Structure 1
Amino acid sequence: MSPVVTTEVCPLADLLLRAAHSHPDRAALILPSARASYAELRAGALSIARSLLAMGARRGAHIALLIPNSVEYAQALFGVMLAGCVAVPLNTRHRAAELGYIIDHADIFAILTSRHDEDPADLHAVLEEALRGAGSDGGRRRIALVRGEAPGIALGRRAFLRLGEAVTEAQVESVRRCVRVRDPALIIYTSGTTAHPKGCVLPHEAVTRGPVERARHRLSVGDHDVTWAAGPLFHIGSLAPFIGSVGVAGTFLTDSWFDAGRAIRLMTEHGATLAWPWFSAIAQAIIDHPGFAPERFATLRHLFLIAPPALVDRVQDLLPETEILQACGMTETAGIFALSDRSEDRLSRSTTQGKAYPGVEVRIVDADSGVDLPDGHMGEILVRGYNVMDGYWADRARTDQGIDADGWLRTGDLYTRLPGGSLVFAGRCKDMLKVGGENVAATEVEAVLAEHPAVKIAEVVGRPDIRLDEVPVAFVELRAGRTIGEDALIAHCRARAAGYKVPRAIVFMTDAEWPMSATKIDKRALRARLA
């Protein structure tokens, strides 16, 4: 008989309170230069919640977080939750104009930010510029530093926390107990094909149920799990694992920026049992680093990796005792909606992205007609379940376009479902090239390029063509010390793929030249470069 997996749903703040009660002295969060126990995380979050209420924040108020990965970020996130408010994590790489748009659009009550030597930029200065260009209310928004002190528009950390002395813990508790599991917990803005980012409204059930269930029943190794994630906590790809870690009172390892050497030292020093490098470039940097050695990862039992088969195979060879998992996910689904089964073999783990996660439904449909397609046919994947966002903030038109009356989310992603239920990712609908009437999935060409031993990273986009509508062009970064010319790399593809799939040109890139979004290469910027 299969083990019973019970459903647990609770508001996000409750996860921290439970972990702080059961394991107060256990490290909740560790960075190379800072750490916090669960008791310390709770105390810091409570102080921030008291100060927010003293500022006048009411249940459901939108609180923006412009803070890099840090103890203070975690305390601010849970402080917002304890106060019954909604957290709006902001990308610390955004420019002033981008921040100004989101701050205006998201109806922000207060902004919690940072002024610290490890910040990726002068966030305080960027925020000042953003608010100068914001709407008429921009100058009156409440801004406080939860990390550091600075003159200017923001209330310093000490002064902000002093505000909370007028609010009791009992008052915080009274507000927290009113939060419902389908109330909004987060609004995470995600970029797409539109001019402005869209704010995904994610309820507490969506952001806690799946991550905690996976952490407890699918990914746990025992009483104490140690999770490492490479990405920023304003991104769902790292925030969801962090929430799962808190849900099982685990220890979460991260950094304010990614450096392969620092990541290796952090994971090996603290015995990581679960790792989320997520994307090819991050995994590649770790296994190619001089400090990498398989024996240093003896405690690692699970590793998430979305990458071409050649890289997945290489990682499986290097770490044979680690279960390599692939997954499907997006911000609109609060992270993962499909995941590798325990029973899947090596080939499946290299070539598919898992199966629909229990409690989540998927359909594969023709992107134009919406008609369901049989297994083995590529189409747009639709998702329905507890994890799907409630909609896009303050945008009824986009919400209605994205979620139908029956609750199915149009993801804009292309997949094929195999007869056994495994899903194979084929790229975004907009990444599907039409070459002389033939469909070409960019990911298919990228996988062929990645088979060449000289290729480190490959990204394929379409270039307009008068005769064929568009043709594939590849952007490629080579491995250190390896060389290959454009003609030779095109010949490699021609020997392995139909002629219409072969790149018409290769653009060689260095590591520093890739245009990046929060966690991955920005293909829109690559298309713009071709234009």
Structure 2
Amino acid sequence: MRGTAALRGATPGPPADRAAIPGLVRRAAERHRDREAVVDGRTRITYGELGERVERAAAACIARGVEPGDRVAVWAPNTLEWIVAALGAVTAGGVLVPVNTRFKGAEAAYVLARTRAKLLFVTGTFLGTSYVASLRRAAGQGPGEGPLPGLPRLREVVVLAADAPADFRTWREFLADGAAVPPGAVRERADAVRPGDPSDITFTSGTTGRPKGVVITHAQTLRVYEVWSELAGLAEGDRYLIVNPFFHTFGYKAGIIACLLRGATMVPQPVFNVDTALANLAAERITVLPGPPTLHQALLDHPARSRHDLSALRLVVTGAAVVPLDLVERLRGELGVATVLTAYGLSEASGTVTMCRRGDPAEVVASTSGRAIPDTEVRVVGPDGAELSPGEPGEVLVRGHHVMSGYFEDPQETGKAITPDGWLRTGDVGVLDAGGNLRITDRIKDMFIVGGFNAYPAEIEQLLGRHPDVTEAAVVGMPDARLGEVGKAYVVRRPGATLTADDLIAWSRREMANYKVPRAVEFLAELPRNASGKVLKTELRSR
């Protein structure tokens, strides 16, 4: 199905001077020079100041030997330094490699070794962990030794702090190195970056094996997030609380890149904490808050919410297989959020494939992820590759300008993911309705078969979410001697609820087909998630 035939050409790509990220940064600094760009704790800088800081970081990258195409990694939480380091590296012609802050040392070292990163920006201590010490252990470096033995291509490590071990550099020391590089050299390097050059390599979450590096270009990034900003209604002067982690496509691109495109103010938050989020929303008059449904549910249910002025909030963008209709209605009703949208995307398609549109009814926003973005094709196919009719579940395929060029130096995995005629196999199970709205029902690997019937956990989870005492649910298949497999539900109860497993199973028998009814229920305080907010089904299956 050609999901956007009527919209094709409706949203133009970025102008020529914004077809690469260095040009975007320069234009934003000029156009929004005196507008507040970033608020990070007590630090407040304008777009003009952000442009100057990025150029200083780019100069330092050049001084330390970063050449066009070199990979530069950032392993740090959401901060102003992350923004400046990342944009500085890209302005110097480097390819950004964001590293998951929840990775342990060995996982981070794998990404650094796999991409042969030349330069790493790393936080000091975060969430009680010394990232420097963790990296040293993983790379086999003993106290007082020189370069990291396990990472011979990593020429330099810059600690985004005031202190660093003797063999690493502090952020201040690093920036000082750029003083000898003339502004003209930085401009020349930035101008040499072409729209088709790789802008970043983002690694998949790796919940089913080694993570793979998704290669996306400058032109793809800017074109997609020009469209995202237009469809969402992000505007100049918006104030955007970025809780989604920068190492994730949504945090970096729907956050930093989108704000640069529109002249919105970025308020990065390193860790999602409801109290901190409420304080930021009120104190900074936040107008835009994208994030997973759990984030917004936690805000709505917080006992101190009424003591915070959230009246400035006007735009929420969320997305997941399960978005309760109640959540959409409460955001609109209780908080007065004018625009609540859902979307679907994956790193392999630059982070965005479908979006709801402003004005869509609450039922469409809650039950679907909207329609394909302009110049994108979405189809649903069966196991034989044949296209299915609306309403039939199958694998979601995507084709368009934003599909990755491939996994980094991995033609075999790239060949599995992209068909010869350019369709990206997402591995997601979905249903298209007659209007072209996509509903993601599950991952192909999560589906289980109950007595010959295909059971889709996300569908069952959405049904369970209708129970008044259920906050969240995750369903996995477990072996059964008679039926082959049956469902087991892991459930988070609402505070104060006394719901039992027998109660929920009995309720389920009244609300859903028998093969969908969970045969076992286990209550948890919270569902296990990775740093991107995805429920770790593998962990639940291993219980």
Deviates more, 1:243-252 or 1:301-310: 301-310
Q: Tell me the TM-score normalised to structure 1 length.
A: 0.93
For 1:192 and 1:78, how far apart are their aligned partners in 2? Answer: 26
How is 1:389-408 mapped onto 2 (pairs within 5 angstroms)? 389-408=404-423
What is the match of residue 230 of structure 1?
A: 243
Contact in 2 for aligned 1:434/1:469 (Cα 8 Å):
yes
Please name the residue that 1:102 is paired with: 111
**How does 1:97-136 map onto structure 2 within 5 Å?**
97-115=106-124, 121-132=129-140, 136=150
Any conservation in 2 of the 1:41–1:74 contact (CA below 8 Å)?
no
Q: TM-score, normalised by structure 2?
A: 0.91
After TM superposition, the structure 1 = structure 2 runs for residues 42-81 of structure 1, keeping only pairs within 5 Å, are 42-81=51-90
**2:231 counterpart (212, 215, 218):** 218
Q: Which of 20, 37, 40 is residue 28 of structure 1 equivalent to?
A: 37
Deviations, residues 356-411 of structure 1 (Å, cap 9, x unaligned): 01111111111x21111111111111111121111111211000100112211100
**How far off its partner does 1:303 sit?**
1.0
Q: Which structure ranks higher in relative contact order (CA pairs < 8 Å, sequence separation ≥ 6)?
A: 2
Q: Which of these residues, 249, 261, 282, is aligned with residue 295 of structure 2?
A: 282
Name 1:449's counterpart in structure 2. Answer: 464
Question: CA–CA distance in 1 between the matches of 2:111 and 2:180?
Answer: 31
Distance across 1 between alignment mates of 2:332 and 2:478: 35
Q: Assess if the C-alpha contact under 8 Å between 1:32 and 1:255 holds in 2.
A: no
Structure 2 counterpart of 1:177, from 185, 191, 201: 191
CA contact (8 A) 2:241 2:269 kept: no
- Determine the C-alpha separation between the residues in 2 that align with 1:140 and 1:273: 40
Which is worse superposed, 339-348 or 93-102?
339-348
Q: Would the alpha carbon gap of residues 221 and 207 (structure 1) be closer, same or farther in structure 2, given more than 3 Å must change?
A: closer
Distance 2:166 2:236 in 1: 47
Query: CA, structure 1 residues 417+60, in 2 after alignment: closer, same or farther (shift >3 Å)?
Result: same
Quote the residue 1:245 is aligned against: 259
Post-superposition Cα deviations, 1:195-244, rounded to whole Å, max 9, x if no partner, equal: 210100111122211212332x3333654122223211101121122211
Aligned residue identity for 1:362:
V
> C-alpha separation between the residues in 2 aligned to 1:223 and 1:515?
34
The counterpart of 2:318, out of the listed 289, 305, 321, is: 305
SS of the residue corresponding to residue 15 of structure 1 reads helix
Aligned equivalent of 2:495, options 480, 484, 490? 480
Residue number among 99, 108, 130 corresponding to 1:90 in the alignment: 99
Query: Hey, what does 1:461 align to over in structure 2?
Result: 476
Counterpart-to-counterpart distance in 2, 1:495 and 1:51: 65
Equivalent in the alignment of 2:366: 350
The CA distance in 2 between the partners of 1:204 and 1:345, in whole Å, is 34
Tell me what 2:213 maps to.
199
Asked whether the equivalents of residues 316 and 337 of structure 2 are also in contact (C-alpha less than 8 Å), the reply is: no
Task: Output the aligned Cα RMSD.
Answer: 2.2
| Cα distance in 1 for residues equivalent to 2:235 and 2:441 | 36
Q: Secondary structure at the match of 2:391?
A: coil
Q: Which runs of 5+ in 2 are unaligned?
A: 1-5, 142-147
* Of 263-272 and 96-105, the range deviating more from structure 2: 263-272
Runs (4+) of structure 1 moved beyond 6 Å? none
User: For 1:292 and 1:359, how far apart are their aligned partners in 2?
Assistant: 41
Amino acid at match of 1:101: Y
Range that drifts further, 414-423 or 15-24: 15-24
**CA separation in 2, counterparts of 1:477 and 1:108?**
41
Kindly indicate whether the alpha-carbon contact (under 8 Å) linking 2:393 and 2:429 is maintained by their aligned counterparts in 1. yes
Listed one character per residue, the Cα deviations across residues 89-120 of structure 1 (whole Å, up to 9, x for unaligned) are 0011101111121111111111111225x566
In structure 2, the partner of 1:335 is 351
How many equivalent residue pairs? 524
Letter in 1 for 2:52: A
Contact 1:230 1:258 in 2 (8 A): yes
Aligned to 1:318: 334
* Distance 1:109-1:344 versus aligned 2 partners, 3 A rule: same
Query: Which of 203, 207, 210 is matched with 1:189 structurally?
Result: 203
Aligned equivalent of 2:156, options 137, 142, 160: 142
Deviation at 1:434, TM superposition (A): 1.2
Task: State percent identity of aligned pairs.
Answer: 33
**Following TM superposition, by how much is the alpha carbon of 1:36 offset from its aligned partner in structure 2, in angstroms?**
2.8
Deviations 1:286-336 (A, max 9, x none): 111123249933332221133233433333332455221111111111111
Contact kept in structure 1, 2:50 and 2:84, CA below 8 Å: yes
Question: C-alpha distance in 2, partners of 1:33/1:464?
Answer: 54
Task: Note closer, same or farther for the CA distance 1:54–1:404 as it changes in structure 2 (3 Å cut).
Answer: same
Question: Structure 1: which 5+ runs fail to align?
Answer: none
Q: Retained in 2: the 8 A contact 1:229–1:241?
A: no
